[in-house]
Amino acid sequence: MGIGASFQEAAIKLRLPEEDDAIDKCLAEACEVQMPPAIRRLFSTVLIFCQPSDPNALCLKYYAALLEDFNHKFSNFLEKVRHLTARAVEQYLKAMGKSLKTFGLEHLQGQEDDEFRRTKDIADALDAPIPQDCIDCRCKLSSAQQKAFDAIIHHIKQGKPGAFFIDGPGGTGKTFLYNVLYVEVRLMNQIVLPTSTSSIAASNIPFRRTAHSRFKIPVVSDAKLACNVPKQGSLAALIRGASLIIWDEASMARKENVESLYLLLHDLCDATLPFGDKIIVFGGDFRQVLPVVPRKSQREAVNASLTEENGFVLLPFEIVSNPGENDDPINEITSVAFPELDINIFTTDIFTTRAILTPMNDDVDSINTVLIEKFPRQAVIYKSFDIILDDNCVVYPTEFINKLCPGGMSPHELVLKENCPVILLRNILPSVGLCNGTRLICKRFFPKLIECMPVSINETHRIT
């Protein structure tokens, strides 16, 4: 073994890492039932979250499946096929702050000149397809939406900087307006950067990202406000070239996060204008959830937000249910929210407009158990697999680990049925809407794969 070998290479030579059988079987199943774009997404997800011991060997084994569509389309241009394949995987990795170089796969990219590296984010933004359903929304604006739309588009056409705030209660069409703005600017062959404070809201906008992910806003804003965006990098070039920036759910963001974006645009663009020379549209509802500030008082939480207004919401009598003393409250609420499940006649779109909310994880588990029992078809059970080492490198018993279910983690036994809803618990691929909080509908089950369809878009993704 050479002196320059890495610790990882040495561990592989000595066969110390655990076998990658699960990863291998997962990709093998995907190759049998899925198209190349989904395989590339899955391969990127595996690299980021599964930490294969030999990424290069894994890539070589499934390289033919990764480039199959490109190879069919450009069979006489092998170099172009290789470049398109590497670029597609790199896009998914970049969405999670990684790159092919992170996993020792930079050789797949070949040689790229400095100009291409500097502008590749711009090319990706301009090449992104425009959803047809958003195009169809252009003629359906209400009078209030049309007024806001005209004012913002006027600034874009005139090249005038400006900052707007779209305020309104939930369900009044703010997201609808963002989608129409996105389409209009994209049809002008200009760049739009749609973002949101929360990953759930981000999944409702085409080619969305969370604001933290898009602008590299520091997570710990108490330490610094500066965003980690190099001035000469591809992201900086993309931000400079953007004609419109949209930030949904800005009311949920801490004001330090907005200050970070202000400083970033001030640094990258015209330093004499608010938010540089950009047109930025904030949106949100101050009647809803304010920023979450852990271990702080209510006053400190309010001071961390963009507003300091207080108020109360009066619930209409029609939406309040009072179960009797002998009634099971869980059965009562599930029957009221999803009566279709009791008669086994339903479509999956019922999960796009209704949800049951509760602040306690124990109640969530009880409600999930009742609901999954109401679904038809045979249940499929997936079990977790993990080990924990304490400070003395003692392996905890498997039985003990299986009983743990802290917040943000799935139970040891995950019971699923066809057409049941699930929710992602981590950012898998924000660039295609697979974020922490994204809701999906289960369609098919495999030993190592679950095929799901996001409830907000028509495209199907496979996730492990």
Local confidence pLDDT in tens for the 464 residues of the chain: 444 456 666 766 666 555 567 888 889 999 988 899 999 999 998 998 888 888 998 999 999 999 999 988 888 888 888 888 988 898 888 777 788 888 988 888 766 555 555 677 787 778 777 878 778 888 888 888 999 999 999 999 998 989 999 988 777 888 889 989 999 999 999 999 998 887 655 556 667 778 888 888 887 766 678 888 888 888 888 899 999 999 988 888 888 888 899 999 988 886 677 888 899 999 888 777 667 777 767 677 677 777 655 566 677 777 777 777 777 888 888 888 888 888 888 888 888 778 888 877 788 888 888 888 888 888 999 988 766 666 566 667 777 777 777 766 778 888 999 988 888 887 777 666 677 778 888 999 998 889 988 875 444 344 44
Domain match, 327 and 385 both: yes
Number of domains in the chain: 3
Output the CA torsion 293→296→300→304 (10° steps). -20
Q: Does 308 fall in a domain?
A: no
**Structural domain range at position 29:** 7-111
Q: Which two tokens stand for residue 235?
A: 């992201």
Domain match, 105 and 213 both: no
Domain match, 426 and 299 both: no
Domain match, 277 and 324 both: no
Q: Does 39 fall in a domain?
A: yes
Domain match, 324 and 293 both: no
- Nearest to residue 211, comparing CAs of 223, 196, 225? 196
Q: Return the amino acid letter for 417.
A: K
Domain match, 175 and 299 both: yes
Q: Does 124 fall in a domain?
A: no
Domain match, 170 and 205 both: yes
Q: Does 311 fall in a domain?
A: no
Domain match, 264 and 360 both: no
Q: Does 120 fall in a domain?
A: no
The CATH number of the domain where 190 resides is what? 3.40.50.300
Is residue 134 within 8 Å of 206, Cβ to Cβ? yes
Domain match, 299 and 334 both: no
Q: Which two tokens stand for residue 153?
A: 């588009």
Paired strand residues for 245: 193, 280
Domain match, 377 and 283 both: no
Domain match, 271 and 139 both: yes
